[in-house]
Amino acid sequence: MVRKMGVYAVLAYCLYGLFFYWYLFHLADPVLPFEYQGTSADPATFLNGRELELSEEYSKIRNLLFFLSTPLEWLIYFLILLFGLSKIFKRWADDSAKYKILQTPIYLFWLSLFSFVTTLPISYISYHFSKSYNISTQSFPSWMKDELIDFWVNYGTWLIIVPVLYWLMKKSKKRWWLYAWLLSIPFTLFMMFIQPVIIDPLYNDFYPLKNKELETKILALADRADIPADHVFEVNMAEKTNALNAYVTGIGSNARIVLWDTTLNKLNDDQILFIMAHEMAHYVEKHIYWGIAGYLLLSLFGLYLTYRLMNWACERWGNELKTKEVSDICSLPLFFMIISMLLFASSPLSNLVSRYQESRADQYAIEMTKNPDAAISSFQELSRISLSQVNPPLLVKIFRYSHPSMLERISRLEEYQIKHRND
């Protein structure tokens, strides 16, 4: 039965992968709707023939890798359970330390290491294609360093969560999910607070914007928006990527508006001011706090469903999965698998909310800057450099896009431009 379940799982993953390959490379129609052809949103108006070709190629590859990577995690965790590797990791932990307080960290290390090693190839393939299409400028040692930082940051985070989680499971078999959620509230806020000042600097250097003339213009925008900002932060990304980005991160006194140096190098001041106004909108409309509230609400339902599904799986398939008790640390791969599945299943909803917020931020930015030419050209340049599709396939948009498509964003700006042409 175990071997049969393993074969079925691998076969299901292969069929899933073939479906998305067929969908992305053969079924999805990249042709722009007729009414948008020749407009500013038409990539043929701002990309040359070679760039159009590369954009389609790279987007398809990147989207395929996205749809393959998350279910691969599920498959790996399922096979870890099915073939008894979780029990082996637990035995290694028990044999390595006589104190129980050390056994869970050791078990978690072996599980994390195995998952890291087995998913590393698809991460490398993604890096390789990004490098091949001149999106990434990062050297292999630098990329590997970031991967190892990811590993240790994730391990350290779960080292805090897992012992508490399984202690709750032992103490309250029916309510552990609720107590875990209650504890997750201060922990989430704490992680959001330290993210900009402790975690992000592990990957890159952050410093106040060097261009003081531009910073003065940005702070003037912030003052108009009643944002108490003293600095705009710049991060050195040019040694890793050619892509452009800016974002708002952190909460409270640690909230930051951050610009990648690639954005500073490749866009003019008017384009940057539009992007900064967009990021300020997230602060003004408190999107970060709404996002935290939404995440906590979803996590409440997610933990409850995880509780129900783990109990069902252990009762129904306990022998095959080599774990009959939810509170047994050997069930951790099952916990990870279910959480990952639920996150993937909820991504269409979270992306929908995010796209609404991003649309609001675009509207706020254009109303503040009143420069549609700069706004449109900034989005065109973003599409050109990142080789992103202006009009992505429906499933890609639903599961991947936390921002509206460039077709939607540029079209709305064009509508604003036409409406206010004579103002």
Show contacts of 178-181: CB within 8 Å, 24+ apart: 178/303, 178/304, 180/303, 181/296, 181/299, 181/300, 181/303
pLDDT (0 to 100) of residue 222: 82
Express each pLDDT in 116-133 by its tens digit.
999 999 999 999 999 999
Picking from 265, 266, 249, the residue whose alpha carbon sits closest to that of residue 257 is 249
Residue 26: closest CA among 69, 66, 56:
56
**239 has binding-site annotation:** no
Res 30 pLDDT > 80: no
In the sheet where 206-208 sits, what is the strand order?
A: 206-208, 233-235, 256-260, 246-249
Identified catalytic residue from 261, 279, 328, 408: 279
pLDDT above 80 (res 325): yes
**Per-residue model confidence (pLDDT) at position 20:** 95
> On the CB side of 323, how many CA atoms lie within 13 Å of its CA?
29
Q: Give residue 423's pLDDT.
A: 62
Question: Torsions phi, psi of 48, nearest 5?
Answer: -80, 175
Confirm whether 373 is a catalytic residue: no
172 pLDDT tier (thresholds 50, 70, 90): very high
Annotation marks residue 279 as catalytic = yes
Confidence of residue 253 (pLDDT cuts 50, 70, 90): low
Residue 147, marked binder: no
Q: How far apart are CA 211 and CA 121, in angstroms?
A: 40
- Using alpha carbons, list the distances in angstroms from residue 354 to 145, 195, 205, 211: 30, 20, 27, 31
| In the chain, domain spans | 2-174+289-358+387-419
* 294 or 247: which leads in pLDDT: 294
403 is in an annotated binding site: no
Catalytic residue among 362, 381, 408, 414: 362
The pTM (predicted TM-score) of the whole model is 0.91
pLDDT band (50, 70, 90) for residue 24 = very high
Least confident piece of the model among 15-19, 191-195, 272-276, 386-390: 191-195
For 79-109, the pLDDT digits (tens) are 999 999 999 999 999 888 888 889 999 999 9
For 327-380, the pLDDT digits (tens) are: 999 999 999 999 999 999 999 999 999 999 999 999 999 999 999 999 999 999
Are the beta carbons of 274 and 366 closer than 8 angstroms?
A: yes
pLDDT above 80: residue 3:
no
CA angle centred on 29, ends 25 and 32, rounded to 5°: 135
CA distances from 362 to 136, 186, 379 (A): 27, 31, 11
Confidence tier at 2 by pLDDT (50, 70, 90): low
Neighbours of 219 (CB within 10 A): 18
